[in-house]
Amino acid sequence: MEPARGGMPCGADWQSQLNRAVIVLYADCEVYYDGRASSRANRAWRLIIIKPDGSLLIHTSEGYQPLNWQPPGSRVTILQSQQGGLELVAIRRRPREMVRIRIYEVEWACWGGLPSEGRFELRGTHDDLKLYIANNIGKYLPGGRVIGIEYEVPGFGIADIIATTPPDGAKWVIEVKRQCADLQAISQLKRYTEALKAKGLLVAPCFTSGARELARKYGFKLVEEAPPPS
């Protein structure tokens, strides 16, 4: 075992800690995603974080958003790659998505538990942002008029805001996210717009690269906006 980093043990035994501890790897790898879209990140050194609840995050040397990720509840396994080395596979069941990491070399690996969290206070909620948008609709859709909030889309769910814009009264579905919007948010908006034969606007503090790409494909408008302080 290598010396600990920040109190965490490190070494080649990290595989035995899967689903038991938080694992942090610095590895030379390729990353493949297959699900509502597909992508490939070429071979490079990246930071990989695996949590006992099934969460998986892959970070590059830039920015705070992960290159790719899987949410809690994913099934994470380690396989031997046919090309040599290891493959780390994380599968989400609903909707079915898979992230596959082909690992060529691990520079270092550490693992350990995390202490219980302190108190967390949230200021600025989803409802705060939704109400702010509805009261300032012209900022997002010039000349727009709100015709519904929490509008039921039969068979699909509840759309946050429905609005119209001049000159032809075009209908818009506006979805609001308090956290960074991903592919799932785009897919949700797509279902609503198709059901209501409307245009789509998604408002969120940030967007993943996959979400931006899919939004361009569907012709959706994206606006970066953080929840106002309460």
For residue 219, what are its two tokens? Answer: 């012709």
Tell me, what's the pLDDT at 228?
Answer: 62
- How far, in Å, CA of 208 to CA of 213, rounded? 9
Confirm or reject CATH 2.30.29.30 for domain 126-224, answering yes or no.
Answer: no
H/E stretch holding 153 reads strand 145-153
- How far, in Å, CA of 135 to CA of 130, rounded? 9
Q: Say which DSSP state 14 is in.
A: G
For the beta sheet containing 199-204, the strands, ordered from the edge strand earlier in sequence to the opposite edge, are: 145-153, 157-165, 170-176, 199-204, 221-224
Q: Where in the chain is the domain with CATH 2.70.180.20?
A: 2-112
Tell me, what's the pLDDT at 62?
Answer: 84
- End-to-end, the C-alpha distance of the chain in Å comes to 48
* Annotation: CATH topology of 2-112: Protein Yojf; Chain: A; (2.70.180)
pTM above the 0.85 mark? no
For residue 170, what are its two tokens? Answer: 């075009």
Tell me, what's the pLDDT at 81?
Answer: 77
Print burial letters for 34-52: b (CB count within 10 Å at least 16), e (below 16): ebbeeeebeeeebebebbb
Tell me, what's the pLDDT at 66?
Answer: 86
Peptide bond into 115 cis (omega under 30): no
**pLDDT-flagged residues of the chain (< 70):** 1-7, 115-124, 227-230
The Cβ of residue 76 has, within 10 Å, a number of other Cβ atoms equal to 20
Tell me, what's the pLDDT at 67?
Answer: 86
H/E stretch holding 191 reads helix 183-196
Q: Where in the chain is the domain with CATH 3.40.1350.10?
A: 126-224
